[in-house]
Amino acid sequence: MEVARSKKDLVVSQKKYVINLLKRGWDEWLFPTDTPIDLNVKFRNKEGRLVDKGQYQRLVDWLVGSSLPSDFNPTTIQKILNELSPESVRIFWESKKFEGLTDKVEPWYGTAYSIEKASPSTIQAWMSSAPNENLHLPAPNVFIPTNLSIKNAQEKIKLPVLLRNVLYSKGIFKINFDCPHASNSPETEVLTDLFTRFLMDYLNEYGMINADDFSLVFYSYYARVAGLRYHVTGYNHKLRILLETIIDKIAKFEVKPDRFSVIKVHRDDFKLNVKLQLVALIAEQAAFRQLRSVEQLGYITLLRLRNDSGIHGLQFIIQSIVKDPGHIDTRVEAFLKMFESKLYEMTKDDFKSNVNALINMKLEKHKNSSEESQFYWTEIISGRTPKFDRREAEVDALKKLTQQELIYFFDENIKVGATRKITLSVRVYGNQHLAEYNSQKSEAVQPNTVQIDDIFSFRRSRPLYASVR
């Protein structure tokens, strides 16, 4: 773990959590209990044959039984907690900053290291300068069921039948909220989508938003033409509690300003997307030829599209042992100036040829069902409104695109000095370029430029830090 620039905060936060444990103690509900296994549950091997449940349980006990406590013992737990004191802590700190400052070498891999003892004054300094963070133990999860029994079917059936007509007894519920204004206009559709996203975000406090976490109860939302549909499925034992919680959140719904800036819908403009894709297609081979073949900056030289949570852009990746990162940045800028001339001088036939090439790539059929499934799931989990006919929509946008529109897009967003461009340069210096690193680090920061020395502090200073997206 690289904690050179945040060592104090990390250590102190852990210490405060331990202190909370010591003060609060350990409730019995936090103790892991046996998960009930219903007699109807069957275990099968790869061949489909039933496996004896007792044999399965004995196998699990043999694997982990010796390491799992079987009884709740507050005395033993408190004894362990008492050992978690600041005086007995052991911290492993890995960093290249310690190169040349160590006095030991481990025998297996030859890794250099040192051992230092934290003085009482250092420990006291950690505790006194601790940030005021709201660290706390988790609250009980009221949605975890304990009744996992399954109803036996008396006879084989082909169609669904009603087992019992009792309130809150079924395993799947669908509640429709009919709202005729939900799809009256693009604006109301966006507001409806925002409402569902806010509700999902506020329910995150219960920690069951993702079914992949193997939660026994999960929930999801689907936008409907006439309103909203709320769908919940799971073991019926605690579904009523979950439903009441959701209804309460809806009844007391409010828009929190700090979450609005995080959750608001990202712009998904097909025309902007294809413009960026076309620029990347035209520039890709030219960048490889100039930066790798002609200038020979490095064996790995890539230009590709990048999409970070809906923020689209171009990415240059160059790994070089002959030139330092600062020099490479200047060569990328020089290439963009050269490409600018190439784009301006492109003939109408060449422009049309590149457009057709991108169209043909988009119209290629999926090679297999896995590739097709991945395409659709990317739309579902992207956070934007799913557009399953995205390729067709982008092809339509490409057919309407003019050469002048592409040039205007390049001038505004990509060219050197573009008014809307934001550039992030990540520089990694090797040992052979330490002199250039020290020289460039001492240079004055250019206008409209921010030098990021502490990545963690910079991230925390951003308005959307800790965004769920």
CA distance 151 to 95: 58
Range of the domain at 389: 270-461
Angle between helices 7-24 and 74-83 (to 10 degrees): 150
For 167-197, the pLDDT digits (tens) are 544 445 556 666 767 766 667 777 777 887 7
Give the amino acid at 141.
N
The answer to pTM > 0.85 is: no
CATH number reported for the structural domain that contains residue 250 in this entry: 3.30.830.10
CA nearest neighbour of 243 among 256, 231, 225:
231
Instruction: Name the token pair of 138.
Output: 């988790």
Residues 237 and 296 grouped into a single domain: no
Q: φ, ψ for residue 246 (rounded to 5)? A: -65, -45
Length of the chain: 469
- Residue 32 has a pLDDT of 56
Spell out, as residue ranges, where the chain has pLDDT lower than 70: 1-70, 126-138, 151, 153-154, 160-178, 180, 183-186, 205-234, 261-262, 264-268, 309, 381-385, 463-469
CA distance 152 to 142: 27
Number of domains in the chain: 3
Specify the 3-state DSSP secondary structure of 182: coil
Residues 180 and 110 grouped into a single domain: no
Residues 242 and 348 grouped into a single domain: no
Number of H helices, E strands in the chain: 15, 9
Mark which of 128, 153, 182 sits at the end of a domain. Answer: 128
CA distance 126 to 120: 10
Do 410 and 339 contact (CB within 8 A), yes or no? no
Q: Which long-range contacts (CB under 8 A, 24 or more apart) does 110-113 make?
A: none
Residues 309 and 246 grouped into a single domain: no
Mark which of 231, 263, 295 sits at the end of a domain. Answer: 263
Residues 193 and 299 grouped into a single domain: no
The answer to whether position 402 is within a domain reads yes
Mark which of 97, 128, 159 sits at the end of a domain. Answer: 128
CA distance 287 to 302: 8
CA distance 243 to 168: 9
- Cα separation of the two ends of the chain: 24
Residues 234 and 286 grouped into a single domain: no
For 105-134, the pLDDT digits (tens) are 999 988 899 998 888 887 777 666 655 556
CA distance 324 to 254: 52
- Residue 98 has a pLDDT of 84
Give ∠ CA 154-167-163 in degrees, rounded to 5: 10
Residues 293 and 406 grouped into a single domain: yes
The answer to whether position 43 is within a domain reads yes
- Residue 298 has a pLDDT of 85
CA distance 292 to 104: 42
Residues 87 and 176 grouped into a single domain: no
